Structure 1
Amino acid sequence: MKHCIIIGGGIIGLCSAYYLQKEGHQVTIIDQSNMDAGASYVNAGYLSPSHLVPLSAPGVMKKGLKWMLNPASPLYIKPRLDSDFIKWTLAFNKSCHANHVKKAIPAIKGITLLSQDLYDDIKREENFSFHYEKKGLLMLCQTEKLLEEEIETAHLAKREGLDVNEISHEELKELEPHATFNVKGATYYKCDSHTTPHEFMTEMKAHLKAVGVQFFSNEKVEDLVVNNGKIEAVITKNQTLKADEFVLAAGSWSSILGKKLGLKLLLQAGKGYRINTTQDTGISIPSILAEAKVAVTPMNGFTRFAGTMEIAGINDKINKIRVEAIARAATSFYPEVELTQEEKNQAASGLRPVSPDGLPFIGKSSKCKNLTIATGHAMMGWSMGPATGKLVSEVISDKKPILDLNPFHPDRTF
């Protein structure tokens, strides 16, 4: 049995703690926040094998440069003179090619499908009651151009064995009889499912506390005690904590701590926003509004509209222009839905750790013998959480990982 300290209490940190504890390890979680907000709470709640194509795909950088001039665009990269940002941008641009996408697809498919199975296992084994439905995901398109692109992506997904079809307007009405659409057409991924994130997080924290996992919230790790390539302890404002193994799952803050160990984790914080409404939207199946890149999720008691990828450094400022863009997209695709000013005023944001190639960093770095890294999941943290946690526990328990970790290696070059 090892004593493991996990730095970060989001979905990745909690799932790592869950599987480490099941392996018989003693686990402590440290988080700089109150552990009730951020990306793990404001995400779209998707478990989406459909998202096979990594963020760094051909044409994305070109779009990003064009969208730089539009603060309401789905992807906004704020230019700034910062060496980490410049290195990340160059690496991101280098990854935006077809060969990378081809290599990334099997890795993304493997980890998302495993995660979906593990959500099932967790819910059954622990008798959790969090909201979890398997209704698939609609990709709604307003233009012929994007519909053609989505049909092409659906064909690719089908070749990978995923259950997806193009659907007609009539079939869309049959699937969603209580919603009104303004779309040209859609594709339907039956392989996807969805949850209400805060319900899972609340149940998982309660379970971990009940089985002896120790929590230190509102404690920022300020320094690390390192000796002979190993971490001996973490230092917070209030205490020094020793352990045998450490897990870096601090999301967008991971690269800051990594620097103390000489790690060059290329990460940028990608801010996303969400607006919740308790209005009767008539929406029962999750959808992505393709042109606007907005995710729509019918959650337990409300509907969530989430979106945008704003790469503008670590900050939690709410950009009203981006909130308005999400609200406008909702009404554009669902003409009978109009989000109120109060709902927009209550919008929240979260920071997602974005790697340059759209794949997470999972595993050990050669820089530190007793550190396992688990970060960089971008918009897929919720979809990949349980599988990442399982992989972390297998690495620390010296077991053969259930998936090939090479595509996720923290020391990979860009």
Structure 2
Amino acid sequence: MSRNKNVIIVGGGIIGLSSAYFLQKEGHNVTVLDKSNMDGGASHVNAGYITPSHIIPLASPGMISKGIKYMFNSASPFYMKPRLDMDFMKWAWYFKKSSTTSKVKQAMPIIKDINLLSRELFEGIKASGDLGDFHLERKGLLMVYQTQKEGDHEMEVARIAGDMGLEVNTLDSEGLGKVEPNIKLNALGAVHYECDGHTTPTQFMERMIDYLPKCGVKINKNEEVLDVVVSGDKITEVKTNKDNYKADEVVFAAGSWTSQLSKKLNLNMPLQAGKGYRINVESPTNISMPAILMEAKMAVTPMQGYTRFAGTMEFSGINHDIRRERVEAIARGAERYYEGLKISEEDKSNAQCGLRPVTPDGLPYIGASKQFGNLTLATGHAMMGWSLGPATGKLVTELISDKKLSMNINPFAPERKF
């Protein structure tokens, strides 16, 4: 049995809070530091999906050529802003190297396994009653297509997912009408991944931020890490704009900002911020099923109190600038699929964005640092950060508590070669 440790977690998103949740259950003393007010960002504006079906990593064949094609259209779903930035150019080169059929094939079972582990942990958190009765449903996810080309592509993914043991169904337009009965979809059909679930992220985050301090976890908002003091192969102190902290263990779970933190320690962890947007529509939409609208490359989620329309992957560095053309593209995309849906100017003007941390190969960084004996890294989950939050928190806790790991994490090695 490992001794109880003082753990500093840098980052208060879903990954940091899930780590705090499981670490305090093991008896560790936990302090979470976050530079923001912890009421925005990727953990709050995502589509809320729990997605074992997302077995194909972002780095897949054809993505770079799509990125180049889209590069000069800032309203496109996958936008890389041209910029002379050494880190970005290196990352793009690694991304291209990772986008091979054989690497995707290797990644698929790993992505499936960590998603299934996380789905089970979400259900365990709900069953524990710790966070009260938060919104968690498993209705599945519809991959809705308007063209046969996208349909054929998704049928192939569905076949692989089915062979891997995931529950999946195909629907023609009539079948789609039965599954989503209260609003007409302009679509040829859909693939229904029954294995998937969804939540309302803001609700879960608020409950977690409320629950953890009651269990002794210190949550320090608006506190930015300025420096990390090292002695030999150990981090001895974390310095912020407000205080200095000594720690037995340190967890970097700061999402896209982890690249800046890791530079302070000369760690080579290529990471880029992929900006996503969301529009919340509070008036009734009659949408009852989570869906990805394939040609529009966007997500739709019925949440508690509103329907969320989310999407885009924009690589333009670390900033929270909202490009109106991208918001308009999401609204137009949704209106093309759902008959009679109209997203108001007010809803569009209240759009928010968040930065997802993206690794070059589409697999997260989860593991102990090779260089520093008391540093654990947990970031780089791209579009699966929400889905993989609890699993990552559990794995971080097992590493720090010297316990048997729930799964093999070698593919997530933070200092892996690309």
Fold-level similarity (TM above 0.5): yes
Question: Does residue 12 of structure 1 match 2:15?
Answer: yes
- Contact 1:46–1:383 (CA under 8 A) maintained in structure 2: yes
- Contact 2:141–2:194 (CA under 8 A) maintained in structure 1: yes
**CA deviation profile, 1:242-294 (whole Å, cap 9, x unmatched):** 11000000000001110111101100000000000022211101000001111
Question: What's the Cα RMSD here?
Answer: 0.7
Residue of structure 2 aligned with 1:53, choices 53, 56, 69: 56
Residue 318 (structure 1) shift:
0.5
Residue of structure 2 aligned with 1:248, choices 244, 252, 257: 252
**CA deviation profile, 1:314-363 (whole Å, cap 9, x unmatched):** 00010000000000001001121110000000000000000000000000
Measure the CA separation in 2 of the matches of 1:63 and 1:6: 37
Measure the CA separation in 2 of the matches of 1:68 and 1:390: 38
Paired residue for 1:105? 108
Measure the CA separation in 1 of the matches of 2:383 and 2:141: 16
Q: Structure 1 counterpart of 2:80, which letter?
A: I
Question: Does residue 31 of structure 1 match 2:34?
Answer: yes
In the TM superposition, 1:191-340 aligns within 5 A as: 191-340=195-344
- Contact 1:137–1:192 (CA under 8 A) maintained in structure 2: yes
- Contact 2:183–2:339 (CA under 8 A) maintained in structure 1: no
Question: Does residue 401 of structure 1 match 2:385?
Answer: no
**CA deviation profile, 1:356-402 (whole Å, cap 9, x unmatched):** 00000000121211000000000100000000000000000111211
In the TM superposition, 1:64-79 aligns within 5 A as: 64-79=67-82
Residue of structure 2 aligned with 1:140, choices 132, 139, 144: 144
Seq. identity, %: 57
Q: Structure 1 counterpart of 2:224, which letter?
A: K
Paired residue for 1:383? 387
Measure the CA separation in 2 of the matches of 1:215 and 1:14: 9
Measure the CA separation in 2 of the matches of 1:168 and 1:215: 49
Q: Structure 1 counterpart of 2:320, which letter?
A: D
- Contact 1:262–1:367 (CA under 8 A) maintained in structure 2: no
**CA deviation profile, 1:30-72 (whole Å, cap 9, x unmatched):** 0000011100000000001110000001111111110112111
In the TM superposition, 1:82-101 aligns within 5 A as: 82-101=85-104
Task: Report the 3-state secondary structure (helix = DSSP H, G, I; strand = E; otherwise coil) of the residue aligned with 1:156.
Answer: helix
- Contact 2:45–2:353 (CA under 8 A) maintained in structure 1: yes
Task: Report the 3-state secondary structure (helix = DSSP H, G, I; strand = E; otherwise coil) of the residue aligned with 1:101.
Answer: helix
Measure the CA separation in 2 of the matches of 1:17 and 1:324: 37
**TM-score w.r.t. structure 2 length?**
0.98
Q: Structure 2 counterpart of 1:53, which letter?
A: I
Measure the CA separation in 2 of the matches of 1:126 and 1:25: 21
Paired residue for 2:166? 162
Residue of structure 1 aligned with 2:354, choices 312, 331, 350: 350
Task: Report the 3-state secondary structure (helix = DSSP H, G, I; strand = E; otherwise coil) of the residue aligned with 1:352.
Answer: strand
Paired residue for 1:372? 376
Measure the CA separation in 1 of the matches of 2:194 and 2:172: 15
Measure the CA separation in 2 of the matches of 1:111 and 1:94: 24
Measure the CA separation in 2 of the matches of 1:166 and 1:367: 48
- Contact 1:293–1:308 (CA under 8 A) maintained in structure 2: yes
- Contact 1:261–1:368 (CA under 8 A) maintained in structure 2: no
Residue 126 (structure 1) shift:
2.8
Question: Does residue 120 of structure 1 match 2:123?
Answer: yes
- Contact 1:61–1:93 (CA under 8 A) maintained in structure 2: yes
**How many pairs align?**
414
Gap regions ≥5 residues in structure 1: none
**CA deviation profile, 1:151-176 (whole Å, cap 9, x unmatched):** 11110110111001111111111111
- Contact 1:28–1:214 (CA under 8 A) maintained in structure 2: yes
Gap regions ≥5 residues in structure 2: none
Task: Report the 3-state secondary structure (helix = DSSP H, G, I; strand = E; otherwise coil) of the residue aligned with 1:154.
Answer: helix
Measure the CA separation in 1 of the matches of 2:206 and 2:242: 26
Measure the CA separation in 1 of the matches of 2:66 and 2:407: 33
Measure the CA separation in 1 of the matches of 2:314 and 2:262: 23
Measure the CA separation in 1 of the matches of 2:75 and 2:173: 29
Residue 409 (structure 1) shift:
0.4
